[in-house]
Amino acid sequence: MTYCAGILVQDGLVMIADTRTNAGLDDVSTFRKLHVFSTPGERTFGLMTAGNLSVTQSVVSLLHEGLANPETGEMDTLLNATTMFRAAQLVGRAIRAVREMDGDAMKEAGVKFDVSMLFGGQIKGQPMRLFMVYGAGNFIECGMDAPFLQIGEHKYGKPILDRAVTYKTHLYDALKVGLISMDSTMRSNLGVGLPIDLIVLRRDVAEPELNRRIEAGEPYFHDLRERWSAALRAAHTAIPRPPYAPPTG
Amino acid sequence: MTYCAGILVQDGLVMIADTRTNAGLDDVSTFRKLHVFSTPGERTFGLMTAGNLSVTQSVVSLLHEGLANPETGEMDTLLNATTMFRAAQLVGRAIRAVREMDGDAMKEAGVKFDVSMLFGGQIKGQPMRLFMVYGAGNFIECGMDAPFLQIGEHKYGKPILDRAVTYKTHLYDALKVGLISMDSTMRSNLGVGLPIDLIVLRRDVAEPELNRRIEAGEPYFHDLRERWSAALRAAHTAIPRPPYAPPTG
């Protein structure tokens, strides 16, 4: 399983991904799902992937190598895309190219071609954007009303994002709430686990302000988990019991 | 969609179900998903249903009418089952009977035979038990280590149950946490909505101590939602921001 969240607020973009993969419960590994593509000072993109690992790795490899453009004869890459929209289209094209290569054989083998991606970032002088790209290569864009997108095991961690994140949220509060969302997911689903990879892109900076891996035992994340647990315990304890009980209850 | 949770603690059983059904987003209705079968003072069962409404309603109707027992020639009903285990088997048999009647035609029409149920309660002098019955009629039983079961849209509301409910939890605290779990689900999924039906069965009482519907605007549930929101806001606000930010951050 996988959990990735991208949060796009006024001051920038946070991308957070776990690293656990599993082929069944008895084959659990650690793989990077957050990939950074950058020409420092000019553009930085983050790409987070969920779904079949052979597909997502092939997509990432293709994006590094570039896809031949039949019209120009040139190689299209993320680093020469002229806009974020065209870069997102290229991610979609890469997914379709992998489906063309492997899709039929996977289907025959009974393996689902199942993949989704979050792709975000900024080209200098252009808007910062965040997209969710589906397995058919089509995509949607994150807006200001619900300034986050999620892929993978997204439901456990959605309530806190729904409640706590708005477009005006401070960039590092967005990171904090994203880590709480990741914590909720890890607690309820063993398929999502440490370490956690994250990047923070400040708007109009065009290189990562932060590019970090949180390993087990990292003091801040450990403290966040403890505090969040204690606060939830205090929160539900402080709510009075339902007054519906009969007198003997 | 649907969300139902059953919580089996030391002092008894709580069952909570929403009432929203939808065939697409433009056909939203209210249907009861929590059904009580009782011979007061002797036995009480709660049955909560998720999945295709035509299937779940037929199962409930069959359980009221009884299923013919080919060996004895008698009608087997929940009210004459000799144990909770046999009663749960009867729920499974009713699901299989509906599949036999409607399954093929539904498949031809491209409609999934998709159903799951929580069935719990007690026959006087026997243990109180809680089961989750699957679409194939097989079932699992709730244990003391994770004293709750959920059906339907269960992921949004699972983190709070994971954290806050143990077998020793007070019966009305279990109800309170169940309502928080329902609130989290309703906030993140429009397919789950008010009113909420609930029953509380105290162990060894064999009739419902509480059988209630919570409508929109009910003061306690409204207050619980407000308090929980405020407490979550306070909780994440109180956690310090990640110390990873660069000096300029």
| Cis, bond preceding A195 (omega within 30 deg of 0) | yes
Asked if A236 lies within 8 A of B184 by C-beta distance, the reply is no
Residue B226 binned pLDDT confidence (cut-offs 50, 70, 90): very high
| Cis, bond preceding A127 (omega within 30 deg of 0) | no
Closest-CA distance of chain B to residue A144, Å? 17
Instruction: Give the mutation candidate from A13, A155, A202, A212 for the B interface (greatest B CB count, under 10 A).
Output: A155
Write down the ipTM of this complex: 0.87
Which pLDDT belongs to residue A27?
79
Q: Does B94 touch chain A (CB under 8 A)?
A: no
Asked if B175 lies within 8 A of A242 by C-beta distance, the reply is yes
Residue among A12, A8, A19 nearest A185 (CA): A19
Instruction: Give the mutation candidate from B9, B155, B192, B228 for the A interface (greatest A CB count, under 10 A).
Output: B155
Residue carrying the six token digits 């864009």: A141
Q: What phi, psi does A103 have (nearest 5°)?
A: -55, -50
Torsional class of A125: left (φ above 0), alpha (ψ -120 to 50), beta (otherwise): left
Residues of B in contact with A243 (CB under 8 A): 220
Q: Evaluate if residue B133 carries a pLDDT over 50.
A: yes
Asked if B176 lies within 8 A of A233 by C-beta distance, the reply is no
CA distances from A114 to A1, A103, B112 (A): 12, 10, 21
Residues of B in contact with A238 (CB under 8 A): 227, 231
In angstroms, the CA B134 to CA A112 distance is 24
Lowest mean pLDDT segment, chosen from A59-63, B119-123, B127-131, B204-208: B204-208
Residues 135-164 of A with CB under 8 A from B: 153, 155-156, 158-160, 162-164
Asked if A163 lies within 8 A of B233 by C-beta distance, the reply is yes
Contact A175, A198 (CB under 8 A): yes
Of the candidates B172, B227, B228, which has its C-beta nearest A245's C-beta?
B172
Which pLDDT belongs to residue A1?
85
Classify residue A249: in a domain, yes or no: no
Q: At B152, is the secondary structure helix, strand, or coil?
A: strand
Of the candidates A173, A227, A236, which has its C-beta nearest B177's C-beta?
A236
Of the candidates A153, A162, A220, which has its C-beta nearest B187's C-beta?
A162
Per-run averaged pLDDT (10 residues), chain A, 249 residues: 96 96 79 95 97 95 94 94 97 97 94 95 97 96 95 94 95 97 92 94 93 96 95 94 75
In angstroms, the CA B184 to CA A210 distance is 32
In angstroms, the CA B6 to CA B146 distance is 11
Residue among B156, B241, B238 nearest A174 (CA): B241
Contact A212, A19 (CB under 8 A): no
Asked if B156 lies within 8 A of A155 by C-beta distance, the reply is yes
Q: CATH number of the domain that B187 lies in?
A: 3.60.20.10
Residue carrying the six token digits 């599993």: A22
Tell me the pLDDT tens digit for each residue of A68-103: 998 988 999 999 999 999 999 999 999 999 999 999
Helix axes A219-238, B219-238, angle to 10 degrees: 160
In angstroms, the CA B36 to CA A47 distance is 50
Closest-CA distance of chain A to residue B233, Å? 7
In angstroms, the CA B218 to CA A222 distance is 39
Of the candidates A177, A202, A249, which has its C-beta nearest B209's C-beta?
A249
Residues of B in contact with A200 (CB under 8 A): 244-245
Classify residue A96: in a domain, yes or no: yes
User: ∠ CA(A145), CA(A147), CA(A153), 5° rounding?
Assistant: 125
Residue B27 binned pLDDT confidence (cut-offs 50, 70, 90): confident
Classify residue B204: in a domain, yes or no: yes
CB neighbours of residue A189 within 10 Å = 22
Show the tokens assigned to B200: 């509380």
In angstroms, the CA B32 to CA B26 distance is 19
Q: Which residues, other chains included, contact B27 with Cβ-Cβ below 8 Å and sequence gap of 6+?
A: none
Asked if A224 lies within 8 A of B239 by C-beta distance, the reply is yes
Residue B247 binned pLDDT confidence (cut-offs 50, 70, 90): low
Of the candidates B171, B173, B236, which has its C-beta nearest A176's C-beta?
B236
Residues 70-89 of B with CB under 8 A from A: none
Residues 168-227 of A with CB under 8 A from B: 170-173, 175-177, 179-180, 184, 187-188, 200, 202, 209-210, 212, 220, 224, 227
Asked if B242 lies within 8 A of A249 by C-beta distance, the reply is no
Classify residue A246: in a domain, yes or no: no
Residue B249 binned pLDDT confidence (cut-offs 50, 70, 90): very low
End-to-end CA distance of chain A, in Å? 43
Provide the domain count of chain B: 1
Tell me the pLDDT tens digit for each residue of B134-178: 999 999 999 999 999 999 999 999 999 999 999 999 999 999 999
In angstroms, the CA B224 to CA A43 distance is 46
Chain A residue with Cα closest to B12: A249
Classify residue B17: in a domain, yes or no: yes
Asked if B235 lies within 8 A of A232 by C-beta distance, the reply is yes
Classify residue B93: in a domain, yes or no: yes
Name the DSSP letter for residue B241: P
Show the tokens assigned to A179: 């880590």
What is the secondary structure of B67-89 as a DSSP string?
EE-TTT-SEE-TTT-SSHHHHHH
Classify residue B249: in a domain, yes or no: no
> Which residues on neighbouring strands pair with residue B246, listed in sequence order?
none
Q: Which domain holds residue B156?
A: 3-238
Classify residue B145: in a domain, yes or no: yes
Closest-CA distance of chain B to residue A17, Å? 16
Q: At B1, is the secondary structure helix, strand, or coil?
A: coil
Closest-CA distance of chain B to residue A224, Å? 7
User: ∠ CA(B28), CA(B32), CA(B34), 5° rounding?
Assistant: 135
Give the mean pLDDT of B114-133.
97
> Which residues on neighbouring strands pair with residue B120, listed in sequence order?
B46, B130
What is the secondary structure of A51-79 as a DSSP string?
E-HHHHHHHHHHHHH-EE-TTT-SEE-TT
CA distances from B169 to A148, B11, B12, B14, B147 (A): 35, 8, 10, 12, 10
